[in-house]
Chain A
Amino acid sequence: MTLKGAIAVTRFGLGARPGEIKLASQNPKKWLRDQIYSNKPPVFPVKGLRTTQGYIAEKKSLMDARKAESDDAVRLMVSKPFNKRYIASAQAELAARFNFGVETSLPFHERLTRFWSNHFSVSGRSRDILTAATHEREAVRPFISGKFKNLALNAILHPSMVFYLNNDKSIGPNSIVGLVVRHKQRGLNENLAREVMELHTVTPKSGYTQSDVTDFARALTGWTIAPKRHPEDLRGMIFFNSRRHEPGSRKIMGKTYLPTGKLQAVAIITDLCNHPETARNISYKLARHFTADVPPPSLVERLTKEFIKTDGDLKALYAVLIEAPELWNAPAQKIKTPNELLTSAARYMGSTKVFPTWPRDVYEGFGQTPFRAPTPEGWPDTSQAWIGPDALMKRIEWSNKVAQRNSKVDARAFLKSALGNRVSKETTQAINQAESNQQALVMMLMSPEFQRR
């Protein structure tokens, strides 16, 4: 086992499964490259899960069933079977995602998938958590190794995102529908346009103005979710309704876009993706994810150049990361997010062992329930956000409980398997001096090198 093997598995990957560091140590960079250049992308098991269309149809049936009843007591009754199915689906979605992270033999690929899922964050309260889960699966997962603009177009123009950021409610004031419903005070909704510019692509650093946002919002009008009147195979899919689309040319950041209907927004998103500030934004976020809260400027610079040179080829960016000396030398830095911590522990111990109570309660106790990020910005990707005093105590209490429940898991073997040559003298000492294997396990789980990556 080598130090580089350990770094490949713990920093680039999701934490070591038994034997994984040994495997990666043979040729750490190749082990990573193979995950990206392999022609066989990992298959996410969808058994028991539904598509975005399926979840949207289910929600629509619930709403229709409730609407049909005027009596509250009856309405409550008809909701019951729906609620049961919702809870089962939500549990299945959370479990499928967690277990995939625990079991995958391509953990670098999965870490990148989760990075992008968080970049194009969709989040839902109650029932809408389901379409947030399908967004990751349908709109992010298949596209993380192509061009950034292709990923962006798929992630932005997806029913889940369009719903989450209210574009399904946005109507061009001078569109056919807009002219009819004007009196109902429905009109333009800028939410999606603003977040695409501010978060997904160019950021405010590019100097866009309110009128750029508004004009982009006009271009996006019409992009919605196919309603019930459509044939079943289209219903709930992304759909361009030209009757809602604001007619006319658009002017965004100095460039004019002719009235090309559905292609207008596509052209704008594509240009936003090609903007140098997008290259910088993506490069900064990627570098920060793999190094530290304040990433080395040299790495950000190299990624930015590569992004511009390759027209946003994501594989090329991953190759820069794999070759970056900044990622191979530094000691463990980033504090794992709660989900990263749980995943890395489960990759050695097994999924069920890391949840001493209902997974949902553990996620909520740690403040990170998947698909429920607090804002369109996604989960914070800084150490500081995750390791304040209150959060640290929660981790200690969790480690203590996990160790109590699994006191037979050999702490020394765990340490060696999970961290390889990344273990510090202090941690080895703390484990050797522990008064019981159970206490040693807490030391292992709470050690700086296991809390960080």
Chain B
Amino acid sequence: MFIAEPKFSRRTALGLLAAATVNQPSFATGVADKPFIFILLRGGMDGLSALIPQDKETVDLRQKLIPEHSELLDLKNGFSLHPSFKSVNNFYKAGDASFIHACSTSYRSRSHFDAQDFLEVLGSGQVHDGWLNRALKALGGNGLALARSIPLALQGETRVANWSPPLFDEVSPDLLDRLSNLYVNDTELTRSLESAQDSKVEGMSINRRSSRKFTLEYPIALEALGRIMSAKDGPGVGMVALNGWDTHLNQLGQLGRKFQQLDAGLLALRQQLGDKWDKTCIVVCSEFGRTAAINGTRGTDHGTGGLMMLLGGAVAGGRIKGEWPGLKKKALYEGRDLAPANDVTAVLKGVLRDHLGFDRATLDRSIFPNSSRAFDGLIQS
């Protein structure tokens, strides 16, 4: 984690973040009141398994990837949610969720790393930092990454905090007190230790046993993110990247479990955000979708059009938005992928404009250079 300011007041509610906030009281834009969360699913999440079209083409292309018909969560508009998305279904029914199928950036080459880099930068020739960092810079707000190191989307000029679960067992308070005495003449170490301890007071520790190999399990990561963001002086913008969506093999079972974890995480996040949920917008997306047809190993391969989910009380929800190109042979991109019918950048642009109040000029010039229109009507007016 980086600290923006040398000054430090020990007993702030959340030292970890306060350290980054201390000299930036100017939330003039009201970011803190309107949380924005970006959840990146790395590996290429199969959107067609999350939001399943109820048509003949889908059955023909990938019958073995579709869960039991009786368990599907029918949205009564030609699509069903995967049975694991029970909470997301409740959000949708409450008008707190919307979905956009067939989303893509202008990147087309199906390489995970390049596609992720592209999605996290969304820049132009001279712009190589992360778009979320550029947005934070324009807002003057605070950002948090639930990660050991800052993901590319949050890398750039604006300093951003990070937090991750313990590497090994947690240490005793006595040991920390002793270290604090040992650091009496070392202001830098003292400041870091105090920040770490203060943030611990807020109950951000994670039970080591529940997280294997310090991988952030989805529910834990999302719960922690919600807890930190809902604290007094907490950051207005958060990001977490969840790995493991590259389902070339035995996809049905794998995604059943993954979606369940993601769903549980989103519910935990909603609970942690409490009242702030009503003013929150969460964007969930992946670097690309997957092939429309099942492959030879009961999975799918890297594709193009993917699914974006918008969640939170601020979302104009209860609907599926954007174009739906369908899965007819002629409509598939290069004969294999759900076609890129909706622009990821346009969606993000619409969200930043209508949720965080960015003006058109800032969006066009500083945040998404080279982008075209913004997607309208995503956020409740």
Contact = CB atoms under 8 A, between A and B. Distances in A.
Interface of A: 71-74, 76, 125, 335, 356-357, 361-362, 364-367, 374, 383-385, 387-394, 396-398, 400-401, 424, 426-427, 430, 433-434, 439, 442-443, 446-448, 451
Contacts of B245: none
Nearest to A394: B167
Contacts, number: 117
A393 B178 CA distance: 14
B296 A397 contact: no
A394 B167 CA distance: 6
User: How many B residues touch the partner, as a band?
Assistant: 35 or more
29 contacts: A71-B296, A76-B297, A125-B113, A361-B213, A384-B2, A384-B3, A388-B1, A388-B3, A389-B195, A390-B148, A390-B163, A390-B196, A391-B1, A394-B148, A394-B164, A394-B167, A396-B176, A397-B166, A398-B167, A398-B168, A401-B168, A401-B169, A426-B184, A426-B185, A427-B182, A433-B178, A439-B178, A448-B182, A451-B189
Contacts of A394: 148, 164, 166-167
B19 A389 contact: yes
Contact of B171 (A357, A366, A397, A426): A397
Given A384-B2, A388-B1, 8 more contacts: A74-B296, A335-B188, A361-B213, A361-B214, A365-B148, A383-B188, A393-B196, A446-B182
A393 B301 contact: no
Interface of B: 1-3, 15-16, 19, 113, 148-149, 155, 162-164, 166-171, 175-176, 178-179, 181-186, 188-189, 192-193, 195-196, 199, 213-214, 248-249, 295-297, 299, 301
A356 B163 CA distance: 22
B301 A448 contact: no
A335 B192 CA distance: 13
Contacts of A356: 168
B167 A447 contact: no
Nearest to B186: A448
Contacts of A400: 168-169, 171, 175
A155 to B, nearest CB: 22
Contacts of A392: 189, 192-193, 196
A394 B170 CA distance: 9
Contacts of B296: 71-74
Pairs of residues from A and B, 6 with the lowest C-beta to C-beta distance, nearest first: A388-B1, A389-B196, A389-B195, A365-B167, A401-B168, A72-B296
Contacts of A76: 248-249, 297
B166 to A, nearest CB: 5
A374 B149 contact: yes
Contacts of A434: 178
B192 A447 contact: no
A393 B197 CA distance: 9
A426 B15 CA distance: 26
Contacts of B148: 364-365, 367, 390, 394
A387 B189 contact: yes
A430 B155 CA distance: 38
Contact of A447 (B176, B182, B248): B182
Contacts of B113: 125
Nearest to A190: B125
Name the residue among A388, A396, A424 with the largest chain B CB count within 10 angstroms.
Answer: A388
Nearest to A451: B189
A439 B175 contact: yes
A387 B188 contact: yes
A396 B182 contact: no
